[in-house]
Amino acid sequence: MNTQAFRVYYEDTDSGGIVYYANYLRFLERARTEVLRELGFEQARLARDTGIAFAVRSLAIEYLKPARLDDVIEVKSSVKKLGRAQVVFRQRIERGGDLLVDAAVRVACLDLGKGKATAIPHNIHERLTTLI
């Protein structure tokens, strides 16, 4: 499991100081980007050098408790299911061990030139298995 910490800023909240529901998706995206970076794969470099990118195909999310302005939240990411051309991440957003958001995010590997799904490169696939 990989853990990334983020602070909630004013721009993340509604007028009541509570994180706007769609902004949780940004925290999840940032955490997945950092997961890839920590595994040795930067998204810009993947697109430039290999012609692939990862894109969200679907997600299921449950909002359990709100995060608020100035909270420090942790996004915990693991791999729930790893296929040939897609990966399902299990992501949880917590504050001090208290579960706020629980999500399953299906991400497809795309061939940018063809605009369609392609197999996850072996070296990336292999590294993703460490998060199962």
The alpha helices in the chain, defined as continuous H runs, are 23-38, 43-50, 122-128
Structure confidence at residue 72 (pLDDT): 98
Q: What's the rounded Cα separation, in Å, for the pair 5 and 94?
A: 9
Characterize the bridge pairing of strands 98-111 and 52-63: antiparallel
Cα 71 to chain centroid distance, Å, stands at 19
Percent of the chain scoring above 70 in pLDDT: 100
Domain ranges of the chain: 2-131
Q: Give the residue numbers marked as catalytic.
A: 14
pTM: predicted TM-score of the whole model, two decimal places: 0.94
pLDDT band at 2 (very low <50, low <70, confident <90, very high): very high
pLDDT at 127: 97
In the block, residue with structure tokens 């925290």: 27
Say if residues 83 and 11 touch (Cβ distance below 8 Å): no
CATH assignment of 2-131, given 3.10.129.10, 3.40.50.720, 3.20.20.70, 3.30.70.1350?
3.10.129.10
